[in-house]
Structure 1
Amino acid sequence: MAVNNSLAGDDFLDRKMKFFILQVLVMLFLSINFLLIVTFFQKEYFYTSARYILFAVTLLSDSLLLFMTNILLIFIHFHINIQVWLCIIICVVVLLYITVTPVTLTAMTLERYVAICMPLRHGDLCSTRNTMHGILIIHGLSSVPCILILSTIFVSASLSFYTKYWVCLVEMILLHTWQHHLRSAVYQFQFLIMCIVIFFSYIKIMKVAKAASGDDKKSTQKGLRTVLLHGFQLLLCLIQMWCPFIDAAVLQVNYSLYETVRYLNFVLFYVAPRCLSPLVYGLRDEVFFHALKNVAYLGLYKRNIM
């Protein structure tokens, strides 16, 4: 009996430690993103340039996604049940912004393609007005999976279903196996299209890089590396899309194992990939980096970044 109590106590401490570490990581990530967003609004050049506007969209999308998924994890950790209708609203926001980031990354890749392969048309195609229209299109495309998933729930669930109290998980509100398969098929098709776009852009930029020389060649090579990083981010986002299906399979086996797997998936495929955005534009981009230093040092770091 004493051994069982000791094991239960160790398991309790282990869960508490994991939860604490996770909250520290989430707060750290959100703080970094807040600093980057403040930097974005410091200079007019940033919020009138297509690449930085799209970067800000990924920052806001990632922050909201992490905040909402962290709330769901808190509900699970403290075993808080909520009504299904409220859970559906939260899950719709999560599903929408899971897709917004990879679609925005694809748009950022296309922006680099236009800047390097069609420089004379870049000013017209990537104007601030067109970028704002592009953001609306990004959210429209990202809402397609949500609309399909919601439609299947409304068709298959009774009215009493929405007033039940459950642990809020996307896997719990999808009542039938075919709904999981449909969700998977929609996401896989969407990501296939995005991978094709990024691959096409990379090939075109690589051709320009071979023909370029001097400063143009350096700029093109940097564009190639940026596209590769976007491709790597997209790969991590694709793995993230598989996480719910892994979670659902593990949930059928053991709830304790499910909590462990969900924790690891959250750290590796939700938090870690979003550390790449600050790397791509917060550190690699010289103009943004100097502005970031100025904000981080509370204005003590002075430099004419333009």
Structure 2
Amino acid sequence: MNSTRRQDSFDSAFTKNFITFAFGFIINFINGAFVYTYFKSQVLQQDPRYVLYIHLVINDMIMLSLSVALQILAYTAPLKFITCCIMVLISVTVNKNNPLNLAGMAVERYIAVCRPLHHVHICTVQRAYALISLIWGVSIIPALADIFIILATKPLSVFSSNVLCYRLNLYNTPYHKTQSMVIQILLFSFVFLTVIVTYMKVLLAARAASGSNQASARNARNTILLHGVQLGICMLSFISPFLNLILVTTWPQHLSKILFSTFLLTNMLPSLLSPLIYGIRDKTFCSHIRMHLRSKCCNSAGKRLKVMEGHQKRSKQVFD
């Protein structure tokens, strides 16, 4: 992919970087609205479900910002190896956070429906933060393993060299490929089984429940199903190499366009869709977003009205 970037004309490179930056800015702005709404609402901050959700959103914002930065840097200038290692370490970590976070959210919904009497004691805000810490701890291990493999297989002088910063260029040994494949299979197998098991448990609870309990179980079942969709969206970034291989083999003359299009599809779009479909579907979160938007609009209108009244008073004083 690096060679195609170097072969791009200035206009083509500028256009791609501008589109990447613009999309990244718009998506982070939308996700930032969810983060702003969360931190403005005490009700949302006291619910472990929304603590995990907002972690998902913030994680997507970090991942998207790093993806955009690495994309632009790959077109513009090489970085020091150690600087690139740090950026890729964070990128790999947040990339693995998302599926684990979705598994945690699915388990929380399962406990809410199938263990309602224990939900208040098991699913607390403090335990949600502890789970987030555990997720980061688990996710950073493969990223650190990549660096240890570099230390074991390459001379220390490599850390002072300049590189074009993207993961496959940085970690290109057979050990990295094996480690990455094993971790991805284990990670997604664990998350996939968690989502499937919790969905089946909630499905059985929905059939056995009646009245309002049945409606609650049905909503939880749909939410866990949505987590499965989000997991599928997260997996887009992992199927990107296979998708590139198929498309480039079919249309080799459009190599640069294909690689850029799949980057937008598999790296940027999931950062918007995954938080957006959950945040819009959730009635509580939607109501808080509308409330804060109305509050902002009313405040803006009030400020404009005060400014106009001030201008009118000054104009009246001048004429008087």
Q: What TM-score range do you get, normalising by the shorter chain?
A: 0.7 to 0.9
Q: What is aligned with 1:138?
A: 135
1:176 aligns with 2:181: no
- Which residue number in structure 1 is paired with residue 59 of structure 2? 61
AA at the equivalent of 1:22 = T
1:206 aligns with 2:203: yes
Structure 2 counterpart of 1:34:
32
Q: 1:194 aligns with which of 191, 196, 205?
A: 191
> Where does residue 317 of structure 2 map in the other structure?
none
> Which has more helix, going by share of residues?
2
Larger radius of gyration: 2
Q: What is the aligned partner in structure 2 of residue 5 from structure 1?
A: none
Read off the aligned partner of 2:196 and give its amino acid letter: F
**Contact preservation (8 Å) 2:81, 2:160:** yes
For residues 245 and 88 of structure 2, the distance between their equivalents in structure 1, rounded to whole angstroms, comes to: 15
Question: Hey, what's the Cα distance between the residues in 2 that align with 1:249 and 1:71?
Answer: 27
Q: Output aligned runs, 1:151-170, within 5 Å.
A: 151-170=148-167
| Unaligned residue ranges in structure 1 (runs of 5+) | 1-9
Matched residue count: 290
Question: Any residues of structure 2 matched to 1:11-160 within 5 Å, and which?
Answer: 12-78=10-76, 80-160=77-157
Structure 1 residue 214: Cα displacement: 2.2
CA contact (8 A) 1:205 1:224 kept: yes
1:266 Cα deviation after fit: 2.5
Cα deviation, residue 300, structure 1: 4.7
Q: Tell me, in whole angstroms, the C-alpha distance in 1 between the residues paired with 2:102 and 2:148.
A: 27
Alpha-carbon offset, residue 282 of structure 1 = 2.1
Maintained 8 Å contact 1:92/1:146 = yes
1:207–1:13 distance in 2 versus 1, CA, 3 Å: same
Query: Structure 1: which amino acid aligns with 2:175?
Result: W
Secondary structure at 2:42's aligned position in 1? coil
Ranges in structure 2 where 5+ consecutive residues have no aligned partner? 1-7, 300-320
Q: How does 1:236-247 map to 2 (within 5 A)?
A: 236-243=233-240
> CA separation in 1, counterparts of 2:106 and 2:267?
21
The offset of 1:261, in angstroms, is 3.9
- The structure 2 residue matched to 1:233, chosen from 209, 230, 234, is 230
In the alignment, what sits opposite 2:293? 296
> Which deviates more from structure 2 when the two are superposed, residues 167-176 or residues 16-25?
16-25
Q: Deviations over 1:51-94 (max 9, x none)?
A: 1000110111000010011100111222x111111100000000
* Secondary structure of residue in 1 paired with 2:40: coil
Distance 1:200 1:244 in 2: 29
Take 1:297 and 1:157, find their aligned partners in 2: how far apart are those partners? 58
Distance 1:86 1:258 in 2: 29
Deviation at 1:296, TM superposition (A): 2.5
Bigger shift: residues 213-222 or 52-61? 213-222
Cα distance in 2 for residues equivalent to 1:270 and 1:65: 9
**Post-superposition offset of 1:104:** 0.5
* TM-score, with structure 1 as normaliser: 0.87
- Alignment root-mean-square deviation, CA: 2.6
Given that residues 112 and 223 in structure 1 are in contact (C-alpha distance below 8 angstroms), is that contact kept between their aligned partners in structure 2? yes
Please, what TM-score do these two structures have when normalized by structure 2?
0.83
Give distance in 2, aligned partners of 1:230 and 1:170.
Answer: 27
SS at match of 1:175: coil
